[in-house]
């Protein structure tokens, strides 16, 4: 890519937010992992969180080869800590109705022709 001031070229990785409406650039491989807060997550997720995006981050979970995908974001980009949720915080919360638990329907087995 060319620099905006026309002084030369540079190499970078292009990253998109989940809605694919914004582009961010990184000079590091976005698939590498880095320690950020209490998780070890991908560099691309760290960059998106720091830029104010809500992202479903890929974090290392209990050893090699195991991953978890919590939603992470910062309420304000100047905050030092991020917030987390295992449910998507962008979706509206539905109110649970107080209903009686339904009784399971038990079907009687037919024994075929009478004997």
**Could you tell me if residue 114 is left (phi over 0), alpha (psi between -120 and 50 degrees) or otherwise beta?**
beta
CB 42 within 8 A of CB 30: yes
- Whether 49 has a pLDDT exceeding 70, the answer reads yes
Predicted pLDDT of residue 34: 92
* Structure confidence at residue 44 (pLDDT): 92
- Mean pLDDT (the chain) is 80
Tokens of 20: 């694919």
Q: What pLDDT shows up at residue 43?
A: 92
Averaged pLDDT for residues 27-34: 90
Q: What is the pLDDT of residue 11?
A: 86
| Dist. CA 63–CA 1, nearest whole Å | 38
- The residue among 105 and 45 whose pLDDT is bigger is 45
> Is the pLDDT at 96 greater than 80, yes or no?
no
User: What are the strands of the beta sheet with 71-73, ordered from one edge?
Assistant: 55-56, 71-73, 83-85
Phi, psi of 50 (to 5 degrees): -65, -25
Global pTM reads 0.66
Which of 52, 44, 54, 50 minimizes the C-alpha distance to 18?
A: 54
């Amino acid at each position: 890519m060319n620099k905006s001031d026309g002084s030369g070229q540079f190499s970078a990785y292009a990253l998109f937010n989940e809605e694919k409406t914004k582009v961010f650039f990184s000079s590091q491989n976005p698939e590498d992992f880095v320690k950020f807060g209490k998780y070890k997550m991908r560099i691309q997720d760290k960059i998106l969180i720091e830029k104010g995006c809500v992202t479903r981050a890929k974090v290392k979970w209990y050893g090699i080869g195991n991953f978890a995908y919590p939603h992470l974001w910062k309420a304000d980009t100047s905050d030092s800590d991020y917030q987390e949720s295992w449910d998507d915080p962008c979706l509206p919360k539905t109110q649970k109705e107080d209903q009686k638990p339904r009784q399971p329907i038990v079907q009687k087995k037919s024994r075929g022709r009478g004997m």
